[in-house]
Structure 1
Amino acid sequence: MSQIQNALDAADTALDASLDRLFEFLRIPSISADSAYDGDCRRAAEWAASTLRELGFDASPRETIGHPMVVGHRRTGRQGVPHVLFYGHYDVQPPDPLDLWTSRPFEPIRASGPHGEIIVGRGASDDKGQVMTFIEACRALIAADGQLPVDVTIFLEGEEESSSRSLVPFLTANRDELKADFCLVCDTGMWDRETPAVTTMLRGIVYEEVTIKAASRDLHSGSYGGAAQNPIRVLAKILAALHDDEGRVTLPGFYDGVQDLPADVKAEWDALNFDGAEFLGDVGLKVPAGEKDRTVLEQITVRPTCDVNGIVGGYTGEGAKTVIPAQASAKVSFRLVGGQDPARVQAAFRQFVSARLPEDCHAVFQSHGASPAIAVPADSPPLTKARRALAEEWGRTAPVIGAGGSIPVVGDLQRILGIDSLLIGFGLEDDQIHSPNEKYDLRSFHKGIRSWVRILDALAR
């Protein structure tokens, strides 16, 4: 029997034990955004490092200006084998609102889902469940052959869900130790529940908060209405002007550098028969709101966007209060694609707002982050091997896709370590990450382990 089959059998036999270890990890409320959970974040880092040491990794939590990083190395001792860096994160989102959970968020359970058994708990999909698919694949390979087929460094972050303030300083300070041939990232999803995918395009982001200020205090609308500028009205008019009737963003120069999908990639996507109506229907919508000459799939993955994420102004409590507010604020995010410069988009937005301010109004801006879009080579030998391995496990070709969200670490790895990433994940659209009742399909977890076994074996060949 081949070593790869031995490792796959080991993964199957140990599935219940793998789930027990995942549940231990999920029970640690490692919420990085809330300082009340600092001790739990450290406990999660120590748990991960201990688990890696059990597998023969030289692993430990590393101190940072924030939550610890976890770094573990296991070398084959053989010349010429690839060295891979695996990245994931052990921190999770806050579970609020708690009253919407059907079970306790940090007491994970196995439950019946519409498509089979699921794992329910905060972090089940984002990202502890995904991290554990890789760690358990390493366990299966070691059980089968006593060693891994490639040199592996595992690098787990503890602040991915809360701005990653320690990431760049840590990568910079530990550049030589973390250097590898390429990185494996398991924080993405499948094309659908039967079809794996490799993500090669990630949108960037510009996130701005703007506050329009007018009078020196809130005003009685009976005494000042009609004569005083109303910041809510001014802000609403500006926000409405950010899109035209065709769904395009109206900032001057916004589409500079934006290119269409390559013909071969578009043909591959067309063959996947993505159902835009079904995608919107799953969340109670019917009509695409983006660029009218683009498909829903393009709109959510490879086209730039602008969205208002929140508006605050005036009286919002119970009952009525006839007031003209002194100020009104909005949070606006732009998702960017390759060729767009975050600094230019930020400047264009601020100029767009400032040019539309009437007398007696001024704007205050605050940045909540800016990062460019990321693209990794779609035809590299490691990617080709990974796609072949995924096809062997799932019985379907893994398409090369774009993702609508942002994973800034991929750009940081390119810039600081000089390495590209393979983004392979087993999450699904209905996993409800960042929401109550987060789940991970048991099948995704099981076949995710088997997929990494095949991928690591393929990369060695």
Structure 2
Amino acid sequence: MDQERLLRELSEFLRIPSVSTLPAHNQDCRAAAEWVAAELRRLGCRDVEFLGSDTHPVVSGKGPDVPGAPTLIIYGHYDVQPPDPLAEWTNPPFEPTIRDGKIYGRGAADDKGQVFCLLKAIAASPRPPINFRFLIEGEEEYGSKVLFDLLKREPQRVRADAVLVADMSYVAPAWPAVYTTLRGLCYAEITVRTSKTDLHSGEYGGAAPNAHEELGRLLTRLKGEDGKINIPGFYAPVKRPSKAELAAWKKLPFTEKDFLQKRVQGKALVGLKKYSVLERLWALPTFEIHGILGGFTGEGAKTVIPAEATAKVSMRLVPNQKLATVERQLAAAVQRLAPKYVTA
């Protein structure tokens, strides 16, 4: 295939700022869905539909029928994460740029690039020997509610012999991988309130509770410095990988030093030290803090004691952990660990 044309078409897809978590980009998400639908039609797909949402639809399509052949569902997503902080980008996130043989742009590796490769690989096969079904969603970065609701209503849409999800990375350069499982997600916001209104630190500082301080203490109670998540019952269903799995992982071209220096690019790795890094990454649940809101964060100074603060958090879940159960466990832990004078 024509590499120049492929790069031009991929760049066109990457330029769409389809950030699903920000309402300001709703129409951009719809534009990305339209792009995917147009590609499916070029493949000769029938019954190309926008399902579940006007702004973040699941794009569905059926490839040409191959009687008697197995059916493969192609899953992917056209939405992307917010690109902030913008100052960290070498080039603008939605202006794809090629450097050192790699293309840089939001979505290039998660998941527009993979969706693009799958569609073009199928296009390069004149007579695919299987039946293709496509489910390309627009809320993967925001919990996939539209997709989940659709499949609850219409479970027959995932009747197939196999599902192909291309949304992960190589284990190492030139070392591709087939991922059989991924950790799930529980996303939450934890809000604490310490007083009716914000207060002036000159008049009330030293006596009035500070919502940011209380939230910070609460978060460190939920997850200790050693990496342990202090939510009762949270680890109960977690099972360690089998001996065969652990032995296979040891054969991978993975070193903690390279992971720290080349991937994390930090000064140290953290977490439950009695487990290997790969166990922490692949087999154990997590608790992460993504952002904290409250008080005064604008330019200049304002000596306010905030009355309310909110933390955006998530927990990655492993087999046997149930979302509804974890949500209840988190809510109960927050109530138990928050001081009596704090509303949480």
TM-score computed with the length of structure 2 as normaliser: 0.86
Contact 2:30 2:54 in 1 (8 A): no
List runs of 5+ in structure 2 lacking aligned partners: none
SS at match of 1:347: helix
Letter in 1 for 2:273: K
2:96 equivalent to 1:108: yes
**Equivalent position of 1:248 in the other structure:** 228
Structure-1 separation of matches of 2:292 and 2:27: 34
Match of 1:354? 335
Aligned mates of 1:244, 1:159 — CA distance in 2: 32
- In structure 2, give the amino acid aligned to 1:123: G
Per-residue CA shift, 1:242-269, capped at 9, x if unaligned? 2345432222222101111111110000
* 1:301 corresponding residue in structure 2: 282
Over 3 Å counting, the alpha-carbon distance change for 1:249 and 1:17 in structure 2 is same
Matched, 1:19 2:7: yes
**Aligned residue number for residue 328 of structure 1:** 309
> 1:305 is paired with a residue of what secondary structure?
coil
* Alignment match, 1:264: 244
Report SS of the residue matched to 1:241. helix
Distance 1:218 1:34 in 2: 27
Give 1:85 shift: 0.8
Do the aligned partners of residues 95 and 290 (structure 1) sit closer, same or farther apart at CA in structure 2, a change above 3 Å counting?
Answer: closer
User: Partners of 2:239 and 2:269 in 1: how far apart?
Assistant: 21
1:83 aligned onto 2:63: no
Q: 1:170 to 1:53 in 2, by over 3 A?
A: same
Does the 8 Å CA contact 1:141/1:148 hold for their aligned counterparts?
A: yes
1:168 is matched with 148
Matched-pair contact (CA < 8 Å) for 1:66–1:165? no
Correspondent of 1:232 among 212, 218, 225? 212
Question: Which amino acid is 2:311 matched to?
Answer: A
Q: Which has the higher contact order (CA 8 A, sep 6+)?
A: 1
**Change in CA separation of 1:59 and 1:237 when aligned onto 2, cut-off 3 Å:** same
Aligned pair partner of 1:148 in 113, 128, 139: 128
Distance 1:29 1:185, change over 3 A: same
CA deviations over 1:358-410 (Å, ceiling 9, x no partner)? 343221xxxxxxxxxxxxxxxxxxxxxxxxxxxxxxxxxxxxxxxxxxxxxxx
Please say if residues 276 and 295 of structure 1, whose CA atoms lie closer than 8 Å, have aligned partners that are also in contact.
no
**Equivalent residue number for residue 138 of structure 1:** 122
Q: Distance in 2 between the 1:37 and 1:309 partners?
A: 20
Kindly indicate whether the alpha-carbon contact (under 8 Å) linking 1:30 and 1:40 is maintained by their aligned counterparts in 2.
yes
Q: Which moved more, 1:242-251 or 1:300-309?
A: 242-251
Mapped pair 1:120 → 2:104: yes
Partner AA of 1:20 in structure 2: R
2:18–2:79 CA contact under 8 A, matched in 1: yes
| Counterpart check, 1:208 vs 2:188 | yes
AA aligned to 2:272 is E
The 5 Å alignment of 1:401-412 reads none
Could you say what the CA RMSD is over the residues aligned between the two structures, in angstroms? 2.8
What SS does the aligned partner of 1:199 have? Answer: coil
Q: Percent identity?
A: 43
Question: Does the C-alpha gap of structure 1 residues 288 and 72 become closer, same or farther in structure 2, counting only changes over 3 Å?
Answer: same
Asked if 2 retains the 8 angstrom alpha-carbon contact of 1:82 and 1:181, the reply is: yes
**1:395-447: CA deviation from partner (whole Å, max 9, x where unpaired):** xxxxxxxxxxxxxxxxxxxxxxxxxxxxxxxxxxxxxxxxxxxxxxxxxxxxx
1:139 deviates by 1.8
Give 1:340 deviation, angstroms.
2.1
Match of 2:269? 288
Is 1:69 paired with 2:58?
A: yes
What letter corresponds to residue 48 of structure 1 in structure 2? V
- Could you tell which deviates more after superposition, 119-128 or 164-173? 164-173
Structure 1: distance between partners of 2:144 and 2:165: 16
Secondary structure of the equivalent of 1:44?
helix
Q: Secondary structure at the match of 2:135?
A: strand
Q: Structure 1's 121 and 354: CA in aligned 2 closer, same or farther, altered over 3 A? A: closer
The reply on whether 1:55 has 2:43 as its aligned counterpart is yes
1:302 counterpart letter in structure 2: A
Cα 1:104/1:154, change in 2 over 3 Å = same
Residues 221 and 322 of structure 1 are in contact (CA less than 8 Å); yes or no, is this contact kept in structure 2?
yes
Determine the structure 2 residue equivalent to 1:44: 32
Structure 1: gaps of 5 or more residues = 1-12, 364-461
Distance in 1 of aligned mates of 2:28 and 2:224: 47
Q: How far is the alpha carbon of 1:37 from its aligned partner? A: 4.5
Residues 310 and 128 of structure 1: is their aligned pair in 2 closer, same or farther, counting only changes over 3 Å?
closer
Q: Distance in 2 between matches of 1:136 and 1:196?
A: 19
Question: Aligned residues, how many?
Answer: 342
Give the deviation of 1:228 after TM superposition.
3.0
Q: Is the 8 A contact 1:212 1:235 kept in 2?
A: yes
Q: What's the CA shift for 1:82?
A: 1.0
Tell me, yes or no, if the aligned pair for 2:151 and 2:157 is still in contact at 8 Å: no
User: Residue deviations 1:13-62, cap 9 Å, x none?
Assistant: 54444333323333444444455554444443333333333333225242
| Distance in 1, Cα, partners of 2:103 & 2:271 | 34
- The answer on whether the counterparts of 1:214 and 1:231 sit within 8 Å (CA) in structure 2 is yes
| 3-state DSSP of counterpart to 2:233 | coil
Q: CA deviation at 1:302?
A: 1.1
Structure 2: distance between partners of 1:51 and 1:279: 37
Following the alignment from structure 1 to structure 2, what is the Cα–Cα distance between the partners of residues 329 and 225?
21
Aligned-partner residue type, residue 161 of structure 2: D
